[in-house]
Amino acid sequence: MTSDVQIVEVGPRDGLQAESTIVPADLKALLIEKLHQAKLSRIELGSFVSPRSVPQMASTSDVINHLKGLTAGRKIMSKGSVLVANQKGLDAALESGATHIAVFTAASDAFTLKNINGTIQESLDRFAPLMAQAKTTGISVRGYISCVIGCPYQGPTSPSQVVPVAEALLDLGCDEISLGDTIGVGTPAQVKQLLSALQSTLPLHQTAVHFHDTYGQALVNILTAIELGVKIIDSSIAGLGGCPYAPGSSGNVATEDVVYMLNGMGIETGIDVEKLLMASRFVRDELGLPIRSKAALALTALGH
């Protein structure tokens, strides 16, 4: 089993995109600063998508401007990433000074049609020129594949639908692929099937897993992925998250719970748990949310 795991904190993007409250840019930047202080280095800072599609992310440029004004701004930006939907998104990302971007498609046409108004193939065609541009400017690119286990519109996804999408994203030059169980329906058996189907296509060092926790399976699915050699785990502070175009999906696995599990397994994350709890409390207070993370609940009850 692996001794070190990287966490990609997606709360400021995946988390806040799903909340009905639109968080002001300065508070988003404050949250990101707190996550950075907890020693989360890879943070998804926001997205450059149509503000009509996701109004919660309309302020991403402002968030980045606020970050640039912080002492830790340069450090945060050096590893932080932004999600981009299209050329307009890439242009905005480049203008903001982002050096890591993520593009997103899915294993289901029904989902991409709702989420990005195009088929999987159309989304890949849209990414091709912008990926080429990103590569020439030294930008690293993560590719998300949503609905890797199930789709809210099409039902179960077979691993054979995921493999060609992963191949296409790697061919376009993605440095890493994040496998999204967007509606959180997967169980360990399906995670095993998926990762074994991808074995000869997607190298483990380029594989990330992104589990939403709709059915309470996220931690056990992460454990399964780790046992199979995956080292990059997406999670979201306070278990925030969801996709506005995936009805029934709930939050991502909570970062607090993932860190508790990894620490208990002796896997090195370098995360400062007390500061992580401060970030969690901050965002819950801002949004008026109860504690969803079991680890945060237990540690808070113990006075942490």
Q: Which residues bind ligand HMG (CB under 6 A)?
A: 14, 17, 47-54, 85-86, 88-89, 92, 104, 115-117, 144, 146, 180, 182, 210, 212, 243, 245
| Cβ pair 38, 279 in contact under 8 A | yes
Q: Do β-strands 176-181 and 150-151 pair in parallel, antiparallel, or remain unpaired?
A: unpaired
Q: Cβ of residue 301: shortest distance to ligand HMG, in angstroms?
A: 30
- Residue 85 to residue 97: CA distance in whole angstroms: 17
Examine the residue annotation and report whether 243 is marked as an active-site residue of this protein. Answer: yes
Residue 146, binding choice from Mg ion, ligand HMG, none, Cβ under 5 to 8 Å by partner class:
ligand HMG
Residue 120, binding choice from ligand HMG, Mg ion, none, Cβ under 5 to 8 Å by partner class:
none
Contacts with 208 (C-beta within 8 Å, 6 or more apart), sequence order: 8, 142, 176, 177, 178, 179, 230, 232, 233, 234
Q: Cβ of residue 298: shortest distance to ligand HMG, in angstroms?
A: 26
> Which residue, 73 or 89, is less far from ligand HMG as judged by CB?
89
With CB atoms as reference, the residue minimizing the distance to ligand HMG is 180
The DSSP result for 79-98, as a single string, is H-EEEE-SHHHHHHHHHHT-
Residue 9 found at the interface with Mg ion (CB under 5 A): no
> Which residue, 162 or 273, is less far from ligand HMG as judged by CB?
162
Instruction: Report residue 244 as tokens.
Output: 């506005």
Contacts with 283 (C-beta within 8 Å, 6 or more apart), sequence order: 11, 15, 31, 237, 238, 240, 289
Which of 14, 109, 213, 257 binds Mg ion (CB under 5 A)? It is: 14
Q: Tell me, what amino acid is at 236?
A: S
Residues noted as catalytic: 243
Point out which residues bind Mg ion (CB under 5 A): 14
